[in-house]
Copies of this chain bind each other. A is one copy, B any other.
Amino acid sequence: MKARVHISLKNGVLDPQGKAISNSLHGLGFESVLDVRQGKTIELDLTDMNKETAETEIDKMCQQLLANTVIENYSIELID
């Protein structure tokens, strides 16, 4: 089965990448840009298992490795 983990910086954590991107976009003349935040997506290909097991399993992965909960939030999306 497939799953996607979305990782984004918590509010209040400054986002150097996002800031740099927004500067560049302004530099390129995209005036409409107010703010940019950059996040990560991690696509997992897993052996088949039921949704509950998957969710707990992936949550463990996030807690242990995929996300740094000091600065990041994460959300899990199961794609059948």
A interface residues (Cβ-Cβ under 8 A, vs B): 6, 8, 18, 21, 24-25, 28, 30-47, 49, 57, 60-61, 64-66
Q: Which B residues lie within 8 Å of A42 (CB)?
A: 18, 21, 36-39
The reply to whether A8 and B43 contact each other, CB–CB distance below 8 Å, is yes
A55 to chain B, nearest CB (A): 12
Residue in B8, B37, B38, B61 whose beta carbon sits within 8 Å of that of A25 in the complex: B61
A36-B46 Cα distance, complex, nearest whole Å? 9
Q: List the B side residues contacting A44 at CB < 8 Å.
A: 33, 35-36
A60, B25: Cα distance in complex, Å: 10
Q: Are A39 and B38 in contact (CB under 8 A)?
A: no
